[in-house]
Amino acid sequence: MSTVRHFLEIDDVSTDELRAILDRADEYKRAQADGQDHEDLEGQTLGMIFQKPSTRTRVSFETGLTQLGGHAVFLGEDDIQLGRGEPLKDTSRTLSRYVDAVMARVFKHENIEVFADYADVPVVNGLTDDAHPCQTLADLQTIRELEGGFEDVEAAWIGDGNNVAQSFTVGCALTDIDLTVATPDGYGLDDDVVERARQLGGDPTLTDDPVAAASGADVIYTDVWISMGQEDERDVRMNAFEGFQVCSDLLSQAPDASVMHCLPAHRGEEITDEVIESDRSIVFDQAENRLHAQKALLSWLLE
């Protein structure tokens, strides 16, 4: 079994390690803006396994490795033997002989845990049904840029207590961001996620009132109500999330708040086109920071 350092959940790093990764992400962002080379992973290869499609995850990791002097290999489920029934542990041990790290974007969280157990190289969670820690890295970098730090920041999550919400909740606990999570009954965070946040010193406020959650917030964050694999629940979910849309009326409760969304957005559902195109939207800053934060993560894991 592996003793290599992996990144499957946002709290796989300590608060100090998280800040070090974010500092490095800022350095990479400045270096890119200044046109400076930063080929810290020259000659190294990242294997990228995709069971779920993605725009931001694929392009940010592949571009990031290129900028760091390395190479990324796209591995769709049907491109490798996983799609033909090869056990995860066999794919993991084989890829460990070829590449320096693996990023996997899969459905079941337990699958990436098995993959990491048998890998001899770092494994990064590019998204599972339970967690999206790479998104949280970018989110925290974006908030720190916006607010100048994490002290006294109040954030509100409005909508589904999904994988992005769960990683963000734990990330807020790691950085002492004051978080309120507003979800409809039956669509809240997993109990173990709330407990993990509390063990880290966080105290997320849980409510079913989006207006109360938004009131006075510095950052309002939302995501789609219907994630990949939930399409057959569309009608039920649309009814359940009525009143949870991030719109101009909701933003009137937080006149100074910036708006976040991990994308892709279903405009007209969880967020209006007006809001996402407004000067209060920082969603494309988040998207850009996926690149810088993931470069920092990989160089930290592989240094």
Annotated binding residues: 54-57, 81, 105, 132-135, 163, 223, 227-228, 262-263, 290
> DSSP letters of 114-142?
HHHHH-SS-EEEEE-SS--HHHHHHHHHH
- Which residues make Cβ contacts (< 8 Å) with residue 234, sequence separation at least 6? 226
Which structure tokens are listed for 112?
């990436």
Residues annotated in a binding site for L-ornithine: 163, 223, 227-228
Spatial separation of the C-alpha atoms in residues 41 and 18, rounded to whole Å? 20
Provide the 10 A C-beta neighbour count for residue 27: 16
Point out the residues that are catalytic. 105, 132, 135, 223, 262, 290
Residues annotated in a binding site for carbamoyl phosphate: 54-57, 81, 105, 132-135, 262-263, 290
Considering only the C-alpha atoms of the chain, give the largest distance between any 2 of them, rounded to a whole number of Å.
55
Local structure of residue 240 (DSSP, 8 states): H
The SS3 of residue 224 is: coil
Confirm if 38 and 11 have CB atoms less than 8 A apart: no
Phi, psi of 33 (to 5 degrees): -65, -30
